[in-house]
Structure 1
């Protein structure tokens, strides 16, 4: 788990990315697919619309861990989050998070019995944020290659939870 301040930091890193890759296990084989955030704030739980009949629902059932990754190469932001997924058909939450983007994926509307929300309770993760330009990063790589004992300093890296 993380502090309220750290949750705010995670949200600042991922809120503009919007689309993360959800990784589940299909038997013992990782399976990733893009998922679009639907919330406007983060308290340790991430929300995604899904079809109740989707493979990811069965793969995440039974308290299995899932992983979500977010990446923004332009700004040097990389986030990996691990947690437990569960399915809900809470009508109040569906109403709260429903929007035109989601509606495009569900032509029968929000009352379609196959519409559900995937809820991911984040338990641990890691994030990286480059603090400098690409030119500076290239300089750090070159310096590390010249000075065989130097490691490139590309910015912030922090683990949490677990």
Structure 2
């Protein structure tokens, strides 16, 4: 992977574009002894500088976030070899208005409707990010083959760190 540098603006644009296009990510919490990862559907809102999730009230994640609000989000688009890791501050609330605003038909797989009392809103305010922008699968395969044949190292795209989103 190369260490080419995008401009700060382009890097931030890429962070939000990836978070918006990938949809599902892993939420990684800490319980004081170990990490726990859970797949969740992300609802990024760049204008609010938040990534929202609808979550169930049950489970240990609420207590973990209350005690250790720094979380990580890991997004992966394996077809294009694009990856995004975010660190930020999380908060779980019962903001019924925002829950109704974010509700979609896909949420019926988990709850009857947006007014289900067991739905909570998880908000993550991103602080730092690292992204890897790679070529699509066809190009990546060609680069791997070329590297294998020539013995050269394959260049799989850009790796960028963004502090203080």
TM-score bucket of the superposed structures, by smaller chain? 0.7 to 0.9
- Cα deviation, residue 99, structure 1: 1.1
Bigger RCO (CA 8 Å, 6+ sep)? 2
Matches of 1:58 and 1:79 in 2, distance apart?
26
The 1:5–1:152 alpha-carbon spacing in structure 2 relative to 1, beyond 3 Å, is closer
Does the 8 Å CA contact 2:69/2:91 hold for their aligned counterparts?
no
The 1:48–1:4 alpha-carbon spacing in structure 2 relative to 1, beyond 3 Å, is farther
The 1:33–1:140 alpha-carbon spacing in structure 2 relative to 1, beyond 3 Å, is farther
- Cα deviation, residue 152, structure 1: 3.4
Q: How many residues align?
A: 154
Unaligned runs of at least 5 residues, structure 1: none
Does the 8 Å CA contact 1:131/1:156 hold for their aligned counterparts?
no
* Counterpart check, 1:42 vs 2:46: yes
* Counterpart check, 1:53 vs 2:58: yes
Unaligned runs of at least 5 residues, structure 2: 1-7
TM-score relative to the length of structure 2: 0.81
Q: 2:128 aligns with which of 124, 131, 143?
A: 124
Supply the RMSD in Å over aligned alpha carbons.
2.3
